[in-house]
Amino acid sequence: DIQMTQSPSSLSASVGDRVTITCQASQDISNYLNWYQQKPGKAPKLLIYDASNLETGVPSRFSGSGSGTDFTFTISSLQPEDIATYYCQQYDNLPPFFGGGTKVEIK
Amino acid sequence: QVQLVQSGAEVKKPGSSVKVSCKASGGTFSSYAISWVRQAPGQGLEWMGRIIPILGIANYAQKFQGRVTITADKSTSTAYMELSSLRSEDTAVYYCARGGGSSGWQIDYWGQGTLVTVSS
C-alpha cells in the first residue's frame, strides 16, 4: 500500500497569507494525486486533480504542484471561507489512501 | 446537475449489518465509478471500495475484505454499501462519491453522508 504523509497536521495563518501544505507518498505515484477541502459537517470537495489541475469552479488562489513522491498545495491568499481541513489522496494504486489532513485556521 | 442522495442515519447493534444506499441523478450513472469513503468522528477520510456499475466489478480495501459488499442497480441508478459484523469502531459517517475524469479518480460529486452508529 502507498502511504501518504501530510504536513503540517494543523496551521494558523492570517487572512491574506500564503499557505502551503505538503504531501509525501511512500513511493512514486507520478501525478496521480487529488486535493480536497472539507468544511465541518460537510462532504469533501475536490479542488485539485492530477496534482496540479484546478477543478472547474474552484478559485484560482488554490494551486497544486509536484510529481513523483513530493507534492505541494498552496492557497496564495488565505480567505476566511478557506477555513477547513485539506486532504491529499493518491490514486496510483489501490487502495487510494488519503493523507491525514491539515486543519487550517485563521490567526 | 449530478446529485447523490444517501439513505438516512442508522443505529445498529454490534455484530449486525448495515446497508446504505446512494441514489444518483442528473448524470450517466453506469459509466462512472462510485466509491464509498468513511469518516469516524474527528478522524480523517478512509476509502472502503468502489464499483463501476457498467462493469459490475467492485474493488475493496484490504482492511474491509470479507466484511463489505458494494453493489449497484443500474435500473434505479442506485449504489449500495453493506458492512457486516459491525463493531463500535465502525461508527462513522459513510459517504458515496462519484469518480470522474479520464482516470476515474476525479471524485467530484459526493453524497451528503450517512451516520452509522454502532452501539449496544
In chain A, residues with a C-beta closer than 8 Å to the C-beta of B112 are 43
Please report residues of A whose CB lies closer than 8 A to that of B46. Answer: 98
- Residues in A touching B95 (Cβ below 8 Å): 43-44
Sheet holding A19-25: strands in order across? Answer: A4-7, A19-25, A70-75, A62-67
3-state secondary structure of B62: helix
Choosing among B60, B103, B112, which should be mutated to test the A contact, i.e. which has the most A CBs within 10 A? B103
Give pLDDT, residue B87.
97
HSE-up (13 A, CA, CB side) for residue B73: 8
The single residue listed with the C-alpha cell 478512509 is B46
Highest mean pLDDT among B29-38, B56-65, B85-94: B85-94
pLDDT digits (tens, 9 = 90+) for A47-82: 999 999 999 999 999 999 999 999 999 999 999 999
pLDDT beyond 90 at B27: no
Q: Taking the mean position of all CA atoms in its chain, how far away is CA B87?
A: 18
Tell the residue number behind the cell numbers 449497484, with chain if given. Answer: B72
Nearest chain A Cα distance for residue B7, angstroms: 15
pLDDT score for A91: 95
A97/B47 CB distance under 8 A: yes
3-class SS letters over chain A:
CCCEEEECCEEEECCCCCEEEEEEECCCCCCCEEEEEECCCCCCEEEEECCCEECCCCCCCEEEEEECCEEEEEECCCCHHHCEEEEEEECCCCCCCECCCEEEEEC
Query: What is the per-residue pLDDT across A12-47, written as a single tens digit (0 to 9) for each?
Result: 999 999 999 999 999 999 999 999 999 999 999 999
Mean pLDDT of the region A82-95? 95
Q: Which residues of B touch A101 (CB under 8 A)?
A: 44-45
At B82-97, the pLDDT tens digits run 999 999 999 999 999 9
Q: Does B112 touch chain A (CB under 8 A)?
A: yes
A49 in reach of chain B (CB within 8 A): yes
The CA distance from B71 to B53, in Å, is: 8
Cell of B110: 459526493
Rounded-to-integer distance, Cα B110 and Cα A103, Å: 20
Amino acid B31: pLDDT: 84
pLDDT at B103: 80
pLDDT at B104 over 90: no
Name the pLDDT band for B102 (thresholds 50, 70, 90): confident
**Which residues does chain A have within 8 Å of residue B62's beta carbon, measured at their own beta carbons?**
1, 95
Q: Which three cell numbers stand for residue A33?
A: 494525486
Q: How far is B103 from chain A (nearest CA, A)?
A: 9
Q: Is residue B10 predicted with pLDDT exceeding 90?
A: yes
Q: Could you give the percent of chain B with pLDDT greater than 70?
A: 100
| Dist. CA A91–CA A97, nearest whole Å | 8
Q: Which amino acid is at B15?
A: G
